[in-house]
Structure 1
Amino acid sequence: MAQMGGISGLVYSALPVAVLVPVNTAFGLVPAISAALGVAALILLWRLIRRDSAQPAVSGFIGVGISALIAWFVGASKGYFLLGIWTSLLWAAVFAISILIRRPVVGYVWSWVNGHDRGWRKSRRAVLAFDLATVTWVLVFGARFAVQHHLYDANQTGWLGLARIAMGWPLTAVAALVTYLAIRTAQRAVHRAHPHDTETDADVAPAGY
């Protein structure tokens, strides 16, 4: 959540889309693209003024810029959503493959973020917990792709914008909660297997996560 800028970062990420759709309906493609870029720039400036972490805002601004460029090339506002649609499919595939080969992405990301080794792989319960968390992300990314791709093909730009927002931070929050619970379960499993090596994990890792 910290890497995404916290709750405010998730909310900010929906603002360019919330501006793009109505402006496009009222004034056309170019003003809509300009408005989305303007909102993204203001969010970045606001974070800099508040001395918040700028990385999520910079990433968001770059993402909006790329999406706007795609929309301009496509010649329709719905092109703005193509990057997110196909990125969702990519991540769904990556997470799903990691489960099939018994290397759940969530477990490896947790090890990397918190500086842990991969001793959790020796615990069947820990692996299962990370599998379930990874499946949750597969469902989130897969649902985003399926719904938004359908709306894109149906030329339902307004509904596409609503789906982008509704399936954005709310689903991310749910998946993050499942991930947190999976990490807690895995920590307890590893702690029971190696109590002397992991005695502080349960107290330290969630705060860092």
Structure 2
Amino acid sequence: MPTVWEDMGGAMGLFYSSFPVMVFVLVNSFAGLMPGIWSAVGVGVFFVIFRAVRKEPIKPAVSGFIGIAISSFIAYRTGSAKGFFLVGIWFSLACFAIVALTIVFRYPLVGVLWSVMNRVPMKWKKDKSSVYGYDLATAALAAVFGARFIVQRWLYEEDYTGWLAFAKIAMGYPLWGLALIVVVWAIRRADKRIKQREAEEGPEPAEETDEQVEARLREKYAQTPDQST
């Protein structure tokens, strides 16, 4: 299974998502909004074609291009360079709310996703300490989204387009790297506690199949005396 870093494209994924942003800010400052938009979109298209020609996975480049295309459209519609960052700002707020709610409802997102990805039951729900660990890990993700919204929203209101670009890049993978440390800690801690509990309590009895239930019932009825005589 690929790691989170690999799934995001690694160092090149970071480059594909950040370089078009820098191109937009640079061209916009010298040539204006529309040249900046077309330059960013052009760079995004180039990355997709470049990866396809080299027969490399295009997912990181395509993901970056989609983000650039949506941001460019918003900037065009608003007629302002700072509109380029508007979608990302509100997306961070929406993600913060969703992630935080999973903690409130006692289904921390990190634990749920880990169980779903590995197709294992959520045994950690029965262990308060494991739930607490997953709460902390999920809170770390929420903190990333919350910090991105607060800082970038303030820069947006103050019309600091250049600093918006810097914040978008600086508060991307570096912050995710810090949050990932907490996530890995919580996962390893929960797995260790689950294994310890299973060792202490012994294996859970296997669930009977439909055939086993039917055979057991037939045997039970066969051993029951006939009360009609």
| TM-score, normalising length: structure 2 | 0.81
Q: Deviations over 1:153-184 (max 9, x none)?
A: 11110111111111111111111222112111
Q: Residue in 1 aligned with 2:149?
A: 145
Q: Which residue does the alignment assign to 1:155?
A: 159
Structure 2 residue 103 is the aligned partner of structure 1 residue 99: yes
Alignment of structure 1 residues 1-209 onto 2, 5 Å: 1=4, 2-195=6-199
Structure 1 letter corresponding to 2:11: I
Cα 1:75–1:6, aligned 2, differ >3 Å: closer, same or farther? same
Q: After TM superposition, give the deviation of residue 11 of structure 1 in Å.
A: 3.3
What amino acid sits opposite 2:168 in the alignment? Answer: R
Q: Unmatched 5+ residue regions in structure 1?
A: 198-209
Give 1:3 shift.
2.8
Classify the secondary structure of the residue corresponding to 2:56: coil
- Give the counterpart letter for 2:92 in structure 1: S
Please say if residues 123 and 193 of structure 1, whose CA atoms lie closer than 8 Å, have aligned partners that are also in contact. Answer: no
C-alpha deviation, 1:50, in angstroms = 4.1
Q: Percent identity?
A: 45
Q: For residue 117 of structure 1, give the secondary structure of its aligned residue in structure 2.
A: coil
Relative contact order higher in (CA < 8 Å, ≥ 6 apart): 1
Is residue 96–residue 143 contact of structure 2 (8 Å, CA) maintained in 1?
Answer: yes
Q: Distance in 2 between matches of 1:105 and 1:47?
A: 33
Q: Which amino acid aligns with 2:20?
A: P
- 1:206 aligns with none
Q: Which has the larger radius of gyration?
A: 2
Q: 1:139 to 1:122 in 2, by over 3 A?
A: same
Identify unmatched segments of 5+ residues in structure 2. 204-229
Q: How many residues align?
A: 197
Query: Structure 1, residues 57-101: CA drift from partner, whole Å, max 9, x if none?
Result: 222211111110000000011101011000000011111111111
Alpha-carbon contact 2:133-2:190 (below 8 Å) kept: yes
Contact persistence 1:11–1:169 (CA under 8 A): no
Q: How far apart, in 1, do the equivalents of 2:134 and 2:9 lie? A: 23
- Tell me how far apart the structure 2 counterparts of residues 173 and 11 of structure 1 sit (CA, whole Å): 16
Which residue identity does 1:8 align to in structure 2? M
Mapped partners of 1:6, 1:51: distance in 2: 17
**Cα distance between partner residues in 1 of 2:49 and 2:110:** 32
Q: Secondary structure at the residue paired with 2:117?
A: helix
Give TM-score, length-normalised by structure 1.
0.88
Aligned-residue RMSD, C-alpha: 1.6
| SS in structure 1 at match of 2:7 | coil
Q: Deviations over 1:130-158 (max 9, x none)?
A: 11110101111000000000110111101
